[in-house]
Amino acid sequence: MRSGIAGKLARARAELELPAAGVRRWQEWLDDDRLWPDRLVLVHGDVHPGHTLVERRPSSPPALSALLDWANAGIGDPAVDFVDMLYAGGPNVLDRLMDAYRAAGGEVPDGMRSHIMARASFLWVHVALRGLDTGRSAWTEIALRRMGR
């Protein structure tokens, strides 16, 4: 998990022009033991609005009733299941999801929010490398623009 991200960062630094501030931020994230989970859990691996079914109930807030498409499931860092929802709904949705996760028995250690935010920013490195690997130069270009913000 962590070593895989370090490897992707090293490869991206060798093959792409990454923003210096991003590289510093990602290296600090990789080096900060406090931000990384002590244990791995079952993760869906691709939680986003298109893979969620929400039940609307009278006189109650909407509730998650199912997660679809478990093709990317595995044992890993619980933060991975929060990244796409952060992109979909923003920081307020992230905070509500973390509260719900905690209330359902999930472990939310200090620093988890920062860890999720760092994972979210690193997503663009992953997309840029995927663009290189698949010959989709537009993916790489978009990712590099996103990182430059």
Q: Which residues does the annotation mark as catalytic? A: 46
Q: Which amino acid is at 19?
A: P
Q: Are 125 and 26 in contact (CB under 8 A)?
A: yes
Total count of residues recorded for the chain: 149
Rounded Cα gap, residues 70 and 22, in angstroms: 31
From the number of C-beta atoms within 10 Å of its C-beta (0-12, 13-18, 19+), residue 12 rates as buried
Quick one: how far is CA 44 from the chain centroid?
A: 12
Nearest to 147 by CA among 116, 32, 139: 139
